[in-house]
Amino acid sequence: MRRSSSLLARLAGAAAGVVLAAAAVLAVALPAQAATLTQVTGFGSNPGNLAMYAYRPDGLPANAPAVVLLHGCTQNASGYFTNSGWQKYADLWKFALIVPQQSSANNSSSCFNWFQTGDTTRGQGEALSIKQMVDYAKTNYGSDASRIYVSGLSAGAAMSAVMLATYPDVFAAGSVIAGLPYRCATDSTSAYSCMNPGVDKTPAQWGDLVRNAYSGYAGPRPRVVIWHGTSDTTAAPMNAVESRDQWTNVLGVSQTPTSTASLPAGTSLEVYGNDRVRLYRVSGMGHGTPVDPGSATDQCGTATAYFLDTICSTYRDALFFGLDGGTSPSPTPTASPSPSPTASPVCVTASNYAHVTAGRAYQSGGYAYALGSNQKMGLYNTFYTTTLKQTGPSYWVIGC
């Protein structure tokens, strides 16, 4: 009897060894589980009732950066993650993605509520929910608290501006794509006029709205990049200029660019201050995120609704954020400095309509802007008169 028990024990041991060996062979034969966009629950009190999704690429190191992505109306987390091109660079340069998702229960079009004060105030609503997602990533993914960024499209871009304004202590930089200035609207009615034709405020007025979002804050402010299509009829191009005015004022730099550059797909780049604010204008582009499908390092995304085949904004934003660790070349050609004043400036006083007709200015969203300096001149018609001074080839400023 003892002999049988011993034999059974030896057989069981041998069988277990075979099973373990087979498992080891199988483990070697099968590839590692690929990273996927995954829903996260229990990330905080979530007063804005948002869903959290996250992507952690394989091999994500400790203290890696993280980027918050905010989708536009009628979109969701998965679609924005898939089509924007951010996964490509997260895999390449190893950083985490945090992708909040709005629900139709909060907004019938699944827009983030960028125009509701209860969702755009520090410590409240959707803004707090997004901040709690960042806190979760810092605690559970080991994300570097000094390298947290945010980017969004349309309503998501307006919410990106909300996060930069209300949590300057959380975000190092952000991107506003086809978006709006912070507190451009405070209810659903004013949201429509904010989007088109836009709201005109002075840089100081716009800046005060951001400063009041976290009263008394004296720490560093995030750098900001703005993208806008010149043919956007949903969020009028005027909003790009107003956003530029807001963030340059907050960061204490001039509204006159320190350098400009021409990029592919009819894209112009204006740089303000010591690269504190960037403004990209994509000529002829409508309302959407600029993408450029392809396999080259500076190509990304999928061309579909609200992802427009022009230039890869994600690549340039990733470099602006410093996510490549300094391993990639500059995404832009050498920028040309703003023209210096000539010895004998040319001054012209005329109606804004005449200035535009003569090529000294251009019009966008019903307003006239000085060519080169992009200074706002007022309404584009024959009743508004402005004096412009030429300070260089195709470069005009207000006053003489």
Q: Which residues contact 299 (CB under 8 A, 6 or more apart)?
A: 292, 293, 312, 315
Q: Output the pTM of the full model.
A: 0.77
> Tokens for 229?
């299509």
In three-state secondary structure terms, 308 is strand
Convert the pLDDT of each residue in 60-98 to its tens digit: 999 999 999 999 999 999 999 999 999 999 999 999 999
- The least confident of 159-163, 234-238, 323-327 is 323-327
Q: Are strands 66-70 and 148-153 parallel, antiparallel or unpaired?
A: parallel
Q: Is the pLDDT of residue 125 over 80?
A: yes
Q: Is the pLDDT of residue 327 over 70?
A: no
The residue whose two tokens read 């990639």 is 328
Rounded Cα distance between 1 and 5, Å, is 6
Q: What value does the mean pLDDT of the chain take?
A: 87
What is the pLDDT at residue 375? 77
Residues catalogued as catalytic: 154
Convert the pLDDT of each residue in 155-194 to its tens digit: 999 999 999 999 999 999 999 999 999 999 999 999 999 9
Rounded Cα distance between 345 and 96, Å, is 52
Give alpha helix (H) positions in the chain: 2-29, 77-83, 86-93, 125-140, 155-166, 188-195, 203-211, 238-251, 313-321, 352-358
In three-state secondary structure terms, 142 is coil
**How sure is the predictor about 228, in pLDDT bands with cuts at 50, 70 and 90?**
very high
Convert the pLDDT of each residue in 5-24 to its tens digit: 443 344 334 444 433 344 33
What is the pLDDT at residue 377? 83
Higher-confidence residue of 258 and 25: namely: 258
**How sure is the predictor about 363, in pLDDT bands with cuts at 50, 70 and 90?**
confident
- The least confident of 42-51, 117-126, 170-179, 376-385 is 376-385
